[in-house]
Structure 1
Amino acid sequence: MPTKIEKDATTGTETTGHEWDGIKELNTPLPKWWLYTFYACIVWGVIYTIVFPSWPTLSSHFGGTSGWTRRGEVAEALAAQKEGQAEIREKIVAMDIDSIRKDPALMGYVQAAGRVAFADNCAGCHGAGGAGAVGFPTLADDDWIWGGKPDQILATITYGIRNTNENSRVSDMPRFGADGLLTKEQIGDVADYVLSLSGTQGNAAAVERGATVFAENCAACHGEKGEGIQDMGAPRLSDGIWLYGGDRKTVVETITYARRGNMPAWIERLDPATVKVLATYVHALGGGQ
C-alpha cells in the first residue's frame, strides 16, 4: 500500500508513496516527446478508422469515407488484366483447337494461361502435368476413356462426367456383384479373363469360363477383345493401364461394385475462353490424339 507521498530530497522528484526496505519509488514523468508521439498515434488511429474500413456492424462493417478496400483494388487489377486479354480470348473462343495450335502467338498464350488454369482447377485430381492418380485418368498418355481428339477433350471438360448438367457424359457400369447379376465365381472368372487380355497369366480354366461371361455381359460396352468403346465411355481393358488398379482383388472389386467417378461441368464454373484454353492445353500435354 502507498505510504506518504513526498519529494525525494536528492532529485526533487515526487515519490509514488511506495517504499521497500527504505528504498522509495520515484514518480518520474514520461518525456514530453514520448507523450506527444503517443497522442499523435491516437489521433492517427481515429482518423484511420474514419477514412478506411474498420468497425464491424451487425451485418457488415463501416466502409470508411474513402471507399477503398484491398479486395476492390485486386478486383480492379484483375478487370484491367482481363480487358487487356479480351481480344486474344475472343479469338480463342471463336477458333477451333486445331487452328489455335497452328498459331504460335495463340499457343504461347494457351501454354501460359493453360498451365495456371490447370493448376488451379485440374491438378488437384489429375496431378501436376496430368500425371493422374488412382481414380483420376492420366492426361499425358494415349489412353482416353471418352476420346483424346481436340473436340472430344473440349466436350469432356465443358460438360464433365456423371454430373447434373443435362449434357454431361454418362456411362454407368452395372454392379454385377452388388446387384446379383453375376455370382462370386463368375466375377472371379471374368476378372481372370480381363487380366489375361493385358498379358497377366491366370488359371487357364477360369480364363476360359471368364471369356464366356465377358462375351455375354461386358463385350457390348468394352468390345469383344476389351479394346474399349470411347463413344460409350467404356475403358480399354487390354492395354495394362488401370484407373483403379490392375491387381486381381481390385478388378474383382470393380466388377462387383462398379466405379462411378464424376467430373464437374467446367462451363458452369469457368468462362468459355478458359475452357477452350484448358482443352487446348490438355491436348498438348502429350497424349492428345
Structure 2
Amino acid sequence: MSHRKKIDEVTGVETTGHVWDGDICELNKPLPKWWLYTFYACILWSIGYWIVYPAWPTINGYTKGVLNYSQRDQVQHDIDAWKSGHAKYRTQIADMSLADIRKNDELFQFSIAGGAALFGENCSACHGRGAQGGIGYPNLNDDDWLWGGNFEKIHQTIAFGVRNGNPNAHDTAMPRFGIDKILDEAQISDVANFVRSFSHLDVDAAAAKRGAQIFADNCAACHGEQGKGNQEMGAPNLTDAIWLYGNSQDAVMQSVRTGRGGIMPAWSERLDPVAIKMLTLFVYSLGGGQADATSTSAPASAADKP
C-alpha cells in the first residue's frame, strides 16, 4: 500500500496517499461546511441542555439543571389536573346508585368512557378487547349469564370475582365427577350425550337415553330437570347454543370429568369503588345487561357468563 499523495485526475481532489491494488486511491475530501457547522451547533446545544435540564447521574441522584425541570413532576401535575377536573363526577358516582347513574345521561356517559378504559387495562386480557370472550372466558356482549346480569349481580362478580378465595366471591363449584370417581368414563360419556341433546346436537341416542337418569341423579339439582340452569348457583343453561368451553363430545366430557372451576379475580382488591361502578356500567351497557326495576343502591353481587 503506497502513501504518496497526489491529485486525482477525475475529481481534482487530493488523495490521502493510501492506494490499494496499485490504482485504487482514497480521496481526502472534507465534509461540507454546512454539515460541520451543524455538528458544532449540536455540540453547543448539548452542552447548554446539560446545564439547563437534569442530565447527569450522580451518587445521590442526578444533576437538577438550572430549570430544575422534572418530567415525572409534569406527569404528576397532569394527572392531578385530570383528577381535579373529574372530581365532581367521581363524587357523584360514589354517592349515587347504579340505577340512578344510568338515568343521568351525562354521568352515565362519563362512567361508560371510564369503564371502557378500565376494561381495556384490566379485563381485556381474558375477555378480549371487544368483550367477546373465548374458550373459558365469558362473552359479555350477549344476554347469557351464569350469575345474573342486572346491576347488582354484575357489580358483585366484578367486585368479588369467582372462586378466588375472597369471602364474598361466588364460590359454588361443579363437582369433579371423573377426578373424584363419582362417575366412570362410560357414565360421563352417556351424560355428555344427554346434555348435548338439550341443544339438539348430534348424539348417540342410546347413550343419551342412558345419560338421562345419570343427569337426573347427579346434575339436575343445580342445572334443573330441563337443564335451564340456576344463576344463584352459577349453573349454566344447557339448552341454548352458548358454551363456555365448547359443545363437542370431548369438551362436554372434560367439563363433567373435571368440573372446570374457572377463577375470576376480585377487582375490589385492586380497584377503588368508583372504578368498580364504572366497570359495572360499562359491562351492563355492552348489550346483555338485564333490567331490574328494584335496583336502587350500590350493588353487592355480579357477572360471569357462559
TM bucket by the smaller chain? 0.7 to 0.9
Residues 211 and 27 of structure 1: is their aligned pair in 2 closer, same or farther, counting only changes over 3 Å?
A: closer
Distance in 2 of aligned mates of 1:104 and 1:163: 35
Residues 210 and 42 of structure 1: is their aligned pair in 2 closer, same or farther, counting only changes over 3 Å?
A: same
State whether structure 2 residue 17 is matched by structure 1 residue 18.
Answer: yes
Residues 221 and 36 of structure 1: is their aligned pair in 2 closer, same or farther, counting only changes over 3 Å?
A: same
1:229 Cα offset (Å)? 1.6
Paired residues for 1:100-119 under 5 Å: 100-119=101-120
Residues 159 and 2 of structure 1: is their aligned pair in 2 closer, same or farther, counting only changes over 3 Å?
A: same
1:232 Cα offset (Å)? 1.6
> Taking every aligned residue pair, what percent have the same amino acid on both sides?
48
Amino acid at match of 1:18: G
1:142 Cα offset (Å)? 1.7
Distance in 1 of aligned mates of 2:163 and 2:104: 34
Residues 139 and 63 of structure 1: is their aligned pair in 2 closer, same or farther, counting only changes over 3 Å?
A: farther
1:63 Cα offset (Å)? 5.4
Residues 36 and 204 of structure 1: is their aligned pair in 2 closer, same or farther, counting only changes over 3 Å?
A: closer
Residues 24 and 287 of structure 1: is their aligned pair in 2 closer, same or farther, counting only changes over 3 Å?
A: closer
Residues 194 and 47 of structure 1: is their aligned pair in 2 closer, same or farther, counting only changes over 3 Å?
A: same
In structure 2, list runs of 5 or more residues that go unmatched.
Answer: 8-13, 291-306
* TM-score computed with the length of structure 2 as normaliser: 0.78
Paired residues for 1:167-182 under 5 Å: 167-182=168-183
Task: Give the paired residue count.
Answer: 281
Distance in 1 of aligned mates of 2:202 and 2:29: 93
Aligned twin of 1:222: 223
Answer with 104-113 or 178-187: which moved more.
Answer: 104-113
Amino acid at match of 2:149: G
Distance in 1 of aligned mates of 2:26 and 2:155: 81
1:251 Cα offset (Å)? 0.3
Aligned 8 A contact 2:112 2:279 in 1: no
Paired residues for 1:192-231 under 5 Å: 192-231=193-232
Structure having the higher helix fraction is 1
In structure 1, list runs of 5 or more residues that go unmatched.
Answer: 9-14
Secondary structure in structure 2 of the residue aligned to 1:85: helix
Aligned twin of 2:64: 64
Secondary structure in structure 1 of the residue aligned to 2:157: helix
Distance in 2 of aligned mates of 1:247 and 1:92: 44
Distance in 2 of aligned mates of 1:19 and 1:140: 74
Aligned Cα root-mean-square deviation (Å): 3.2
1:227 Cα offset (Å)? 1.6
